[in-house]
Amino acid sequence: MTKSEWWHGASIYQIYPRSFADSNGDGVGDLAGITAHLDHVASLGVEAIWISPFFTSPMADFGYDVADYCDVDPIFGTLGDFDALVEKAHGLGLKVTIDMVFAHTSDQHAWFEQSRQSRQNVRADWYVWADPKPDGSPPNNWQSVFGGPAWTWDARRQQYYMHQFLKEQPQLNAHHPAVQAALLDALRFWLERGVDGFRLDALNHSMFDPALTDNLPAPEDGKLRTRPFDYQLKVNSQNHPDVTQFIERIAGVCADYGAIFTVAEVGGDGAVPLMKAYTAGEHRLSSAYSFDFLYAPQLTSDLVAHALGQWSGKKGEDGLSEGWPSWAFENHDAPRHVSRWADDEHRAAFARMSAVLLACLRGNIFLYQGQELALEQDEIPFHLLKDPEAIANWPLTLSRDGVRTPMPWDSHAFHAGFTSGEPWLPLSPTNIAKAVDVQEADPESQLHWMRKVIALRASQPALRLGAMDHMTSDEALLCFTRHVRHEKIVCAFNLSNGPRDYDAPEGEVLLAVNGATTGLLPAYGALLIRTA
């Protein structure tokens, strides 16, 4: 690469504020708690943090239903607490990125409260309103992600309003220039406070077919469908091509403030072409966040080869340079990867190998809080569930609560040092045994291993910035080469729980994982070799 911004190849640590650290004993994590533990994050060697929403919200979807884009919810603290967090992070050399939710707001946002009052007021068209069909039913067949029609009746306007998620999350009409202007002003508010970047939540959901054309039925694929949403091809309710024009306005605002990192969350079928469109050229977003690994039931060599093979780093047919991908194995919505991909016997070895694999991928890498400890997915009983999607679709939808349980800091402290009160979700004995204090005291722990792996990635331009090619895969063995200028690193991984022979090339062994040698990769073994 001829030019490298700070975020190219960066390692970014996601913080889910409700579950990171509680400073005031109310059982919910907060901004001051984050600030108090930023030294731990910085010690990992990551370049940036991503903080999930902390804005004013009634918490119907735990912050992803925003009631005020330009303030902090009291449960998380104050704007002063946020300013202190930014100051501490920057002092530690950490960039700060935050979530922005532009597809919808809370139904308690002042914009929506005004919009629903009449069909004539200044914000009447800021949300998606439509008349019923002659029989009183919703205007079309669109379904919400969380179950049921994507429409709720409002008696004030005698119309339906659209919501792609909860009914408490009315859909913004992002086609409207005034709505775009208001959202861009929200970006400026946080940029003025020192924010270094944004993750743009559900960005492909932000625009839709204005004609409200019915979606098509999805073809039968043999998979279990747990929601009405899964029965449709979302060709009209999301993914409208005009999103790219809005993206260019977002990028323009960020450019006014310097090298700001922007990453789009783009989920659903056919996501990769959208991801490339959203990041193509010099005037769109920095990166797009891949879902290839987040819900995969198994980690296979073919899965990795397919996911990485979709990003060549070359110019597309439109002549625009291809964007920069971002990768994650888990996040606040997706289950802990060690629980999905490894059995109990091999979980520790798998965690070591998967950390190296993530660090070798071309693009940015995201770690979710606790991933550096190899935390496992918690089982939350129905009566303790908080996740609205899991409650609505129980027992067929996996609860997001299981990955949102609190961070264990001190194995000997009350509630593992997360809070002095009653935590909003319980901590499990399994994860308490993996607390930070336990792993700090053990030089062979996953925590120390993760620091080593992230440091290796940061020190090797081929791993952080290089191209990826010569990828081969079979049922268990995955091999590829990362290279930049005259530096070349061959990466070989055994993704199975049995040994595999491996004929390694000549060169310097940079890292041997789980007892790997140049002739044998044990269960979940790996080798990184610098070659001539």
DSSP-derived 3-state class of residue 281 = coil
Active-site residue, selected from the candidate residues 61, 265, 292, 389: 265
Quick check: is 265 catalytic?
Answer: yes
Q: Rounded to a whole number, what is the distance in angstroms from the first to the last CA of the chain? A: 20
Separation of alpha carbons 359 and 50, rounded Å: 18
Residue 209 tokens, joined = 């077919």
DSSP 230-271: GGEE-TTTS--TTHHHHHHHHHHHHHTTSS-EEEEE--STTH
Separation of alpha carbons 458 and 478, rounded Å: 22
Quick check: is 22 catalytic?
Answer: no
Residues 439, 448 contacting (CB under 8 angstroms): yes
Which residue is associated with the tokens 């190998």? 353
Residues 82, 193 contacting (CB under 8 angstroms): yes
Separation of alpha carbons 229 and 408, rounded Å: 36
Question: Which 8-state DSSP code applies to residue 124?
Answer: T
Determine if residue 194 is left, alpha or beta; phi over 0 gives left, psi from -120 to 50 gives alpha, anything else beta: left
Active-site residue, selected from the candidate residues 47, 73, 99, 201: 201
- 510: burial class by Cβ within 10 Å (0-12, 13-18, 19+)? middle
**β-bridge mates for residue 49, sequence order:** 13, 96
* Catalytic machinery residues: 201, 265
